[in-house]
Amino acid sequence: MKININEVVTRDGLQIEKKIPSTKFKVNLIDQLMDAGVKRFELTSFVHPKYVPQMADAEDLFSEIDRRSDVVLSALVLNDRGVKRAKRTPVDELNITFSLSETHNRKNANSTVSESIQLVRNVLQETIPVNVCIGTAFGCPFEGLYETEQLIPVIESVVEYNPNSISLGDTTGMANPRQVEETCYLIRSKWPEIKLGLHLHNSRGMGLANVLAGIRAGVHDFDTALGGIGGCPFAPGATGNICTEDTVHMLEQMGYETGIVVDKLIQAAKGLEQELGKSLPGQIMKSGKSTATHPA
């Protein structure tokens, strides 16, 4: 079975880092990841640099990337201004996100959920493919855990506009494997035509277990970040995404196909660690692959 990885290190990964890598470093990092076999990237977000200065080079990043015909580059947008900026670049797809949580959505997008849904509907009428991510889909640090039924009317409000995909975001790592499996199974049963993905965080150590829960429910598309870095700057306690090299290593060891070379991911993760000047959460970059042996 093929599992698809969407790399988000230069967007969700870097958006809370105090040290902001140069555009040149980001371009070289993406080149390394493409060489490793990564085919999908959420490259950046078109947001105001006052609020997320790590994304201030969004246009420059798109102009300097060495495009490859078999690689898809997407970008996050949160409002009409972001959409207009993105459309002036060679972006392949737009990613638009809003939160199931009213509280988090106001903090993250400065909008009510209903206002964000209306924006999503407007953007979905663009000719460019649009992916929709529903953040805090399993729970919110301000409002607590959610029942799956709360998602249903929200998905209904956008699915009729034919998004390219719908992703469920566990924005602060509150979901557990049972919750993920039951939620994804219900949504796939109700809308089998939807391309359903998961954007998971490892805040409470359940990230990779939630990947397997999603796979059991029929999900094949996952967002990951090299080194396991990242998190939402507008949510307390937010920590990193599930780690790309750890996720790919686990899946390959279990017999799933990703098309990505783990050794090259490890090399890229070590370079990122050196650039950021701190230890990263990823485990495989520290301990090596399970197949590695050492002299007695």
Is the confidence at residue 234, as pLDDT, over 80?
A: no
For residue range 213-222, what is the model confidence (pLDDT) as tens digits?
A: 999 999 999 9
- Cβ partners under 8 Å of residue 246, min gap 6: 208, 228, 282, 283, 284
Q: Which of 133, 184, 232, 243 is catalytic?
A: 232
Pairing of strands 165-169, 144-145: unpaired
Q: How far apart are CA 93 and CA 40, in angstroms?
A: 10
Split at pLDDT 50, 70, 90, the class of 183 is very high
Main-chain dihedrals φ then ψ at residue 241, nearest 5 degrees: -65, 165
Whether 232 sits among the annotated catalytic residues: the reply is yes
Helix (H) or strand (E) holding 181: helix 177-190
For residue range 36-75, what is the model confidence (pLDDT) as tens digits?
A: 999 999 999 999 999 899 999 999 999 999 999 999 999 9
- Strands (E) across 57-216 are located at 72-77, 93-99, 130-135, 139-140, 144-145, 165-169, 196-199
Task: Tell me how many degrees the CA angle 147-150-151 measures, rounded to the nearest 5.
Answer: 110
Strand partners, 201: 241
CA 284 from centroid of its chain's CA atoms: 20
Residue 8 DSSP code = -
Is the confidence at residue 86, as pLDDT, over 80?
A: yes
- Please state the pTM of the whole predicted model: 0.96
Is the confidence at residue 209, as pLDDT, over 80?
A: yes
Residue 94 near residue 126 (C-beta atoms within 8 A): yes
Question: What is the rounded average pLDDT of the residues 2-16?
Answer: 97
Residue 113 near residue 102 (C-beta atoms within 8 A): yes
- Give the chain's radius of gyration (CA, Å): 18
Split at pLDDT 50, 70, 90, the class of 176 is very high
Question: What is the rounded average pLDDT of the residues 190-210?
Answer: 96
Residue 10 DSSP code = I
How confident is the model at residue 109, as a pLDDT?
78
Q: Which residue has the higher pLDDT, 35 or 112?
A: 35
Question: What is the rounded average pLDDT of the residues 108-122?
Answer: 88
Main-chain dihedrals φ then ψ at residue 110, nearest 5 degrees: 55, 40
Is the confidence at residue 296, as pLDDT, over 90?
A: no
- Cβ partners under 8 Å of residue 174, min gap 6: 138, 139, 140, 141, 145, 203, 204
The first and second tokens of residue 248, run together, are: 């790919």
Main-chain dihedrals φ then ψ at residue 94, nearest 5 degrees: -105, 140
Q: How far apart are CA 182 and CA 201, in angstroms?
A: 18
Is the confidence at residue 286, as pLDDT, over 90?
A: yes
How confident is the model at residue 79, as a pLDDT?
85
How confident is the model at residue 14, as a pLDDT?
96
Is the confidence at residue 293, as pLDDT, over 90?
A: no
Task: Tell me how many degrees the CA angle 94-95-100 measures, rounded to the nearest 5.
Answer: 150
The residue assigned the tokens 């998971």 is: 200
Is the confidence at residue 147, as pLDDT, over 90?
A: no
Q: How far apart are CA 70 and CA 115, in angstroms?
A: 35
Is the confidence at residue 255, as pLDDT, over 80?
A: yes
Question: What is the rounded average pLDDT of the residues 8-21?
Answer: 95
